[in-house]
Amino acid sequence: MDSSQLFYGSASIFAFLQHTHRAIYNRETPNSSGHPPTEESLDIFMKRSVFFGIPSKVHDVPSRDTMQEIIPRLEAMKLLDVFKASSLFLFPFLTPATLDEILTSAYTHPYQPQATVLLLAILAVGSLSTPQTEQAERLFQHAKRQAAAYEDTVTISMIHVSLLMAEYQISMGRPNAAYLYAGASCRKSYALGLHKPSSALSLEAEDVQTRHATLWAVYIYDNWISFTLGRPNTMRKSDITCPYPDNQPLLVDQSIIADAVEKATAFLYDNRSDSLLQLYNMVQDIHHRLLQNCKRLCPETLTTALQGSQDEMLGQVSLHNMYYHFCLTIYRPFLVADSSFRCANKTDQTEMLWLQQACRQATGAAEDCIALMRHISLIIDAKDIRRYNAFYVETSCAVLLYDSLNHPLKHASNMELVNLALNYMQSMVNDEPISSATRSIKRIMSAVDHSLKDYHAPIQNASLINPALPPMGETMGATRNDPVSSTTATEPNMVGFDDLLQYPEVNLDALTADLFDFIPIDKSTFFGY
């Protein structure tokens, strides 16, 4: 049997879920030895497929010689329009005009194989903004098969194919595959010299802009996917000397967030701080610098975008979800530290008041993410937008449910927000990865509910909760519908709480970093190691 293992670092949701399990375990078994559960406990919350990627529903697609045999041109044109409306904002190196040219090249003679591969990848991504998952999988399999012939080819088109495939895989709940595609796009970009200023006199101005947009898109994808998995990124900002492309403000701000991600990773996870306060000050500095540099994170810009075109709205949603996830990830270690102090009854130290502010940054970002997605669903059909948004919502719910374990008084209001998130996800495509994310949220919810079963708190109205920085504006509170009860959010075949403490023999072949390895507190003080 293959003994290789996948590794997920401390910035990943998997590492955080292990601490959620640990917190539940410590509440239920206060007289235990205090040793944390093994990594196998993660399988209780997140299915095996999450680690290795949700399996494809389509296998062994028949070989086809032409695009017309794979998909009729009229149908391809319809999917291309879907891509333009729902996904084009993610790829600043493409324009509606170039997309039309790619389609024409793929359907006319002489046969242009790289245009065909590129179009297949584009159509596969576009199909994910429809309920036709099997069609998307077939198109992706065709793209993957034809791209294999150009695996060693270093061209702009094949870099674009790698990015499109990374987007497809991450939107289908296959982050490990997306990580590999993003890495390939980095190496090809370096090989083509995209990270350096373009000096070839033969290049047209439009080609230069395409090169710059491609390079920065690669940097963003590589840093972001690496960050969410807790793995090293391939492309460094210090290696890039080419300028930003013209008239691409969204790309510029996303690259600023990617740069903040790179800095935060170095501070939080590559070097251990001497104290928790020192760690907090470093995180605060990175956060404040990001807000100063990223102009489109201001409330006025978001409000304007939400009243603009669909392309503008989706771009702002993508930017803000990156920001919210960045915040809840860099402040998440303080939630874990707070939980440890509470377990050790060390919450009466006045000098630790700043710790509560750090925790509020994480929970506030989670609240804002859920509120924003709910608001967008009232404007745009949730089935038509990026499936990857389910990842942001799921991660936000995990933070709020962990917060409930630390602060039972907040459980009622946190549950309202989590149920609001579940309502939103029910309005998305009823397929992967949304269905897996929904099951994960419900499992965690069930476990937290059971852990707090003897605690009774007054019901609070979730609409009274203030969002974190940057605020969403007054319209956000008004968009929250009445949440469903926690009983309706459970499933009849859900894993029981007793199963959470039994640690079944599961060979995950996956390792996760322990957040305590990066938090400057003495574990022996809290867990008796």
SS3 content of the chain, % helix, strand, coil (to 5): 65, 0, 35
Residue 238 has pLDDT above 90, yes or no: yes
Q: Is the peptide bond before 232 cis (omega within 30 degrees of 0)?
A: no
| 62-71, 264-273, 345-354, 436-445: least confidently modelled range | 345-354
**Contacts with 285 (C-beta within 8 Å, 6 or more apart), sequence order:** none
What mean pLDDT is reported for the chain? 81
Q: Which of 14-23, 24-33, 105-114, 134-143 has the highest mean pLDDT?
A: 134-143
Span 270-280, mean pLDDT? 78
Tell me: the pLDDT tens digits for 73-125?
Answer: 999 999 999 999 999 999 999 999 999 999 999 998 777 889 999 999 999 99
Q: Which of 182-191, 201-210, 226-235 has the highest mean pLDDT?
A: 182-191
Distance (Å, rounded) from C-alpha 176 to C-alpha 387?
16
The predicted structure's pLDDT at residue 159:
98
- The answer to whether the CB of 510 falls within 8 A of the CB of 6 is yes
Residue 500 has pLDDT above 50, yes or no: no
Q: Find, among 393, 348, 343, the residue nearest to 527 by Cα.
A: 343
Residue 510 phi, psi (nearest 5): -145, 140
Question: Does an H or E element contain 21, and which?
Answer: helix 13-28
Burial of 4 (0-12, 13-18, 19+ CB in 10 A): exposed
The predicted structure's pLDDT at residue 28:
64
**pLDDT level of residue 41 (50, 70, 90 thresholds):** very low
Q: Find, among 87, 168, 74, the residue nearest to 384 by Cα.
A: 87
Residue 522 has pLDDT above 80, yes or no: no
More confident residue, 522 or 489: 522
Three-state DSSP at 283 gives helix
The predicted structure's pLDDT at residue 494:
37
Residue 505 has pLDDT above 50, yes or no: no
Span 16-28, mean pLDDT? 74
The predicted structure's pLDDT at residue 32:
53
Q: Find, among 498, 516, 444, the residue nearest to 28 by Cα.
A: 498
Q: At what angle do helices 113-127 and 73-86 cross, to 10 degrees?
A: 60
Distance (Å, rounded) from C-alpha 153 to C-alpha 187?
11
Domain ranges of the chain: 6-54+173-523
Residue 305 has pLDDT above 90, yes or no: no
Span 408-429, mean pLDDT? 95
**pLDDT level of residue 521 (50, 70, 90 thresholds):** low
Span 464-470, mean pLDDT? 39
Residue 501 has pLDDT above 80, yes or no: no
More confident residue, 63 or 474: 63
Neighbour count for residue 499 (Cβ, 10 Å): 12
Q: Which residues pair with 511 in a beta bridge?
A: 7
User: Side chain identity at 288, as an amino acid letter?
Assistant: H
| 63-72, 114-123, 401-410, 418-427: least confidently modelled range | 63-72
Residue 379 has pLDDT above 80, yes or no: yes
- The answer to whether the CB of 285 falls within 8 A of the CB of 268 is no
pTM here is 0.85
**pLDDT level of residue 510 (50, 70, 90 thresholds):** very low
In the chain, the percentage of residues whose pLDDT exceeds 90 is 56
Burial of 132 (0-12, 13-18, 19+ CB in 10 A): middle
The string of DSSP letters for 198-262 reads ---TTS-HHHHHHHHHHHHHHHHHHHHHHHHHT---S--GGG--SPPPTT-HHHHHHHHHHHHHH
**pLDDT level of residue 469 (50, 70, 90 thresholds):** very low
